[in-house]
Amino acid sequence: MPAELIDGKVIAAGVRAEVAGEVATLKASGIVPKLAVVLVGDDPASAVYVAAKGRACVEVGMAESTIRLPATTSQGELMQLLDSLNADSTVHGILVQSPFPSQIDCSAVIRRIDPAKDVDGFHPVNVGKLMAGERDGFVPCTPAGIQELLRASNVATRGLDCVIVGRSNIVGKPMAALMVQDGPVANCTVTVCHRYTRDLAVHTRRADILITAVGRPGLITADMVKPGAAVLDVGITRIPDPTRKSGTRLVGDVDFDAVREVAGLITPVPGGVGPMTIAMLLRNTVRAAQRLATA
């Protein structure tokens, strides 16, 4: 029997509905949660992502401010803007869209954002809180979204083997930190695989939960998956497809059609993990507003 689809669109809609209710409560007390998104340069994909985040804010009743800066913006100019956003009491969440032009130091940008407004969850303070198991920081949106998908799919994670393919600071590392914690939708035995892992399939075949986030189409084949496993595909790559009007289509790291015949649960690409990232960004922003309101 083919694996059951984990419908990220439906689950994300539920999260957005919860956020909208929390936003309404805050508004009733005179607080309007606001997300400021900074885009440096004119990368087309980044522009699409930023526009989607702005629309999502409006849909749940939040305020949003998109600040577009030219590709020639200096490090100092960007830092000055971040300082002003940090100091602005009407702004509760700050996000600087990557990638950056070559003259911008990504690490310095992340560190400049006030950790209390770092709704991406990338500031070292929030990373440290995640690693320590403290719950008053912000968790990166994609790993948090994956954990929500598992929760909504009633996956009893305690004691399971969770194998993560990819060790990025955005997905792989924080995902591992989340799943190894003592708490709900966690308590797993976690293995993190990367480009130097010997015999990747040895690890993936024992995974009860397999999460892949490397951007390599078709990397995970059916013979690499444990029967009945939950497979969550973060990878997204646009490949040529002459059968499509656009001439291209989006695929993940998983050979979806083949793996679906083996797995128990699986996320599609698109429509799986992707919708959860923005939903969790909205959740982080409203939580930032709640915390700053009581500070």
- Per the residue annotation, which of 97, 129, 173, 181 is the catalytic one? 97
In SS3 terms, 192-244 reads as EECCCCCCHHHHHCCCCEEEECCCCCCCECHHHCCCCCEEEECCCEEEECCCC
- Per the residue annotation, which of 53, 117, 129, 173 is the catalytic one? 53
Q: Is the C-alpha dihedral spanning 257, 259, 264, 267 positive or negative?
A: negative
The residue assigned the tokens 């444990």 is 226
Q: Is 114 a catalytic residue?
A: no
First vs last C-alpha separation in the chain: 52
Distances (CA, A) of 191 to 5, 80, 150, 183, 209: 24, 41, 18, 18, 10
* Rounded Cα gap, residues 232 and 143, in angstroms: 11
* CA-based nearest residue to 33, from 60, 68, 62, 59: 62
The residue assigned the tokens 């993936």 is 204
Q: Is 181 a catalytic residue?
A: no
Q: Is 120 a catalytic residue?
A: yes
Read off φ and ψ for residue 69, nearest 5 degrees: -115, 150
| 246: its two tokens | 């656009």
- Per the residue annotation, which of 120, 208, 233, 255 is the catalytic one? 120
The residues carrying an active-site annotation are: 53, 97, 120
